[in-house]
Each structure stands twice: as C-alpha cells, then as structure tokens.
Amino acid sequence: MRLQVHMSEPGYPRQVWEAWEARRIMDEDLVELLPYAWLYSQEPERVLATARWVTMFRAAGFLLLPTNLGRPTTPLRAFRGATEARMTGMAWYLDRRDAAPISKRHARFGEAHIYVTTVPLEAMLAHLQRADEGPEIIVDPQLLGEIVQSKGDFA
C-alpha cells in the first residue's frame, strides 16, 4: 500500500495510523513504516497521541533503526530534556549530553530541565537514531518508574 504523503510531511504519522487502523496496512508493514514516521516527525507526540504510538509500536514488535544499534537486554538509565509537564514522554536518550539540546528546545514551552529514569525492559518499544542526534529509546511512558530532575541540566 502506498501512503499519500512523504514521510517527512507532518501528516505522515497520522496517515500511517489511519491506514493501519483501517487494516490497509498490516502489523508487519509497521516494521518499515513506523521508525520513519517517528524519526521524521518534529514532535511525534504532538502529531499523534501517545496511546496511538504505543499501540502501533506494540503491534510492530521491538524496532531498531539503524539495525546495528542492538536490542537492550537490561534496564537502561535514560535522559529526557523537557518541561515538567512533558517529562513523561516517549523519547529518552541514553546519553545525558544528547538530552541537553532537547531541553533547550523545550524551553519555549516553559522552564525545561533534563530528567532521568531507569527504563525497564517491558517499557522499551524501539531503539532509534536520527542522523543528527544520539540514539534514543522509545518507551511506553505508562511503564516508567520514578522520574527525577537531573542535576546540572545543561552541563
């Protein structure tokens, strides 16, 4: 099935959701479509509700892009740059230094910080990497434990 918009267009994630929900694409198609729908979206959770992303990631199974990133085998310490209201999002970085620029970008929504948590294996949905950023773990935020503000936000 061909989608009607290019993956870099804002409507691409929504179109993937609608096609999948209507069964015009199958779960196995999500393996190829979903990483790009996430990675090419400027703010994925603003384009499509978190619950819809989680549902699709669960249907696709754990995703890797690039495929050499490797699937985590233990819980991971992860970092997220965000405002307090957005600290429970889906995208978490494995390196604190990768979260700092994101925190600065989120400052337009209010006071932003770097948050840290330990991501349990059952919360992990994907391990993805954009060309210009460090690897990120995509998580089901409902399964995260304690999230705390990291010390020295922008160091």
What residue numbers bound the domain in which 90 lies? 68-149
The total number of structural domains in the chain stands at: 2
Q: Tell me the mean pLDDT in the region 116-140.
A: 93
Do residue 55 and residue 108 come from a single domain?
no
Give the CATH number, domain containing residue 106.
3.20.170
- pLDDT single digits (tens) 35-58: 999 998 888 998 999 999 999 999
Do residue 130 and residue 75 come from a single domain?
yes
Residue 73 lies in a domain: yes
Do residue 82 and residue 44 come from a single domain?
no
What secondary structure, in 3-state letters, does 60-87 show? HCCEEECHHHCCCCCCEEEEEEEEHHHC
More confident residue, 71 or 7: 71
Strands 63-65 and 124-128: parallel
Do residue 78 and residue 49 come from a single domain?
no
- Which pair of tokens denotes residue 52? 């819809």
Mean pLDDT of the chain: 87
Of the chain, the percentage scoring pLDDT greater than 70 comes to 86
